[in-house]
Amino acid sequence: MLRPGRGGGPVGVGPAPPPQSLRRPWRALPQDGASGRTCPPDAERPSFPPSPPMPGYELPVGTCVDMCPAAERAQREKERRLHRFEVAPGCRGHRPRADPQRAVKEYSRPAAGKIRPPPSQLRPPSVLLATVRYLASEVVERTDASRAEVASFVADRLRAVRLDLALQGAGDVEAALVLEAALAVLLAVVARLGPSTAHGPADPMLLQAQVQEGFGSLRRCYALGAGPHPRQATFQSLFLLYNLGSVEALHEILQLPTALRSCPALRTALAVDSAFREGNAARLFRLLRTLPYLQSCAVQCHVGRARRGALARLARALSTPKGQTLPLGFMVHLLALDGPKEARDLCQAHGLPLDGQERVVFLRGRYTEEGLPPAGTCQVLVGNKLGGRTLEEVVTAEEEDEAVDRPKSAA
């Protein structure tokens, strides 16, 4: 049983995120052993939905039909600020030229006193949704770039998508579709990047902040709009799974209408959260195996901590002066590891000796915890669940199919 830590979360998960209201975006917190300070919220302002305009003023509707306005393309081309993903083929020499079919509007921080962009510089919801789908299909799947470079580019362009949406008068149903797609792509990109990438063009803390801002914008859209939002249960479950172990996140979910909480996606997410809090590794990983792809991406950041906690409990229960052995195959099954090698690496990272290649020895006083828990490749829990689909197909699906081996009851 995990004892409660400071802030209400279980020990080893870090302090729970601060309280959220519908008017205040959820703030990102460091995860997996990062520094204990609170990460500043995404600087994107105004957040969605925008604050009510002054009497007599109506928010414009975007009219730009390109993923990047022509004026911005020309300016960035002149200033040589085009990303290599946006350069026209064969034009990577002295003066790279922007490809209108590849260039995507970059994020520009709103400043006090800055004139609002005209409608010609804002993309309407239909173009924003097409932009998100382009990022999912053409950029995320690139094999000629590192995952860190892809994550940095995609995260920046998705911030610009949310900002364009906030600066215009879009309907709540249209806005929710864009925000859902953008958040799904961002979750997948962050999951593929993994927690071990601490350097390079992608800033893990900024990515976490953007994910939390994305959840805040989408959940405010749900709360303040009439709908219908057919994927709300799925994305509310993603919110809980990404903030697994947080008292405040659980409280937010329990405030939802009963009919929404009774949806299968939310029932399963609540069961996962319960197993995580109780330290019930067998039930937790059994449930994690059944989660669909997006839910698995959301919960991936907690897998390393959950495995470390389970291994610590095994060490306390089985360690003796002479040592007891346990088959690595049992650990592979219990912790949903990707194979015996990953089990061996996990044991050795925590000071546990091996008996040959197939068994681990629990000796009293040998178990140790240093640094972050091994992230693992998470092919069983995440990667294999795409099932031959592309990320674009997952993002555009109205409702993701139930994963294989789902139990009849989340209990």
Q: pLDDT by residue (tens digit) across 207-262?
A: 999 999 999 999 999 998 777 899 999 999 999 999 999 999 999 999 999 999 99
Average pLDDT over the chain, rounded to an integer: 83
The predicted pLDDT at position 399 comes to: 47
Residue range 149-171, pLDDT digits in tens:
999 999 999 999 999 999 998 88
Backbone angles phi, psi at 24, to 5 degrees: -125, 125
Q: Is residue 285 part of a domain?
A: no
Same domain, 134 and 144: yes
High-pLDDT (> 70) share of the chain, %: 80
Q: What is the pTM of this model?
A: 0.82
Asked whether residue 411 carries a pLDDT value surpassing 60, the answer given is no
Burial class (CB in 10 A: 0-12, 13-18, 19+), 26: buried
The predicted pLDDT at position 328 comes to: 94
150, 194, 237: which is closest to 382 by C-alpha?
194
**Res. 33 pLDDT band, cuts 50 70 90:** very low
Rounded Cα gap, residues 281 and 334, in angstroms: 7
**H-run or E-run covering 362:** strand 359-362
Please compute, for residue 213, the number of CA atoms within 13 A of its CA located in the half-sphere on the CB side.
26
**H-run or E-run covering 57:** none
Task: Find tokens 């040592």 and name the residue.
Answer: 323
Q: Is residue 272 part of a domain?
A: yes
Instruction: Give, in order, the Cα–Cα distances in Å from 117 to each of 123, 129, 133.
Output: 11, 20, 24
Contacts of 297 (CB under 8 A, 6+ apart): 187, 188, 190, 191, 382
The predicted pLDDT at position 119 comes to: 92
Mean local confidence (pLDDT), 340-366: 93
Asked whether residue 203 carries a pLDDT value surpassing 70, the answer given is yes
Same domain, 72 and 153: yes
122, 79, 73, 75: which is closest to 101 by C-alpha?
73
Q: Is residue 1 part of a domain?
A: no
Instruction: Give, in order, the Cα–Cα distances in Å from 90 to each of 78, 97, 141.
Output: 18, 9, 21
Mean local confidence (pLDDT), 327-343: 94
Same domain, 127 and 221: yes
Same domain, 97 and 161: yes
Evaluate whether 123 touches 64 at the Cβ level (below 8 Å): yes
Domain count, the chain: 3
Q: Which of 190, 210, 228 is the last residue of a domain?
A: 228
Same domain, 319 and 237: no
Rounded Cα gap, residues 323 and 326, in angstroms: 10
- List 61's β-bridge partners, or say none: none
For the ranges 21-25, 146-150, 181-185, the one whose mean pLDDT is highest:
181-185
Task: Find tokens 């080893």 and name the residue.
Answer: 12
Evaluate whether 45 touches 34 at the Cβ level (below 8 Å): no
Same domain, 78 and 92: yes
Of 30-44, 170-184, 189-203, 332-346, where does mean pLDDT reach its minimum?
A: 30-44
Domain that holds residue 259: 230-278
Same domain, 93 and 196: yes
Q: Is residue 66 part of a domain?
A: yes
The predicted pLDDT at position 37 comes to: 32
Burial class (CB in 10 A: 0-12, 13-18, 19+), 353: middle
Residue range 98-157, pLDDT digits in tens:
999 999 999 988 776 678 889 999 999 999 999 999 999 999 989 899 889 999 999 999
The predicted pLDDT at position 48 comes to: 52
306, 290, 312: which is closest to 376 by C-alpha?
306
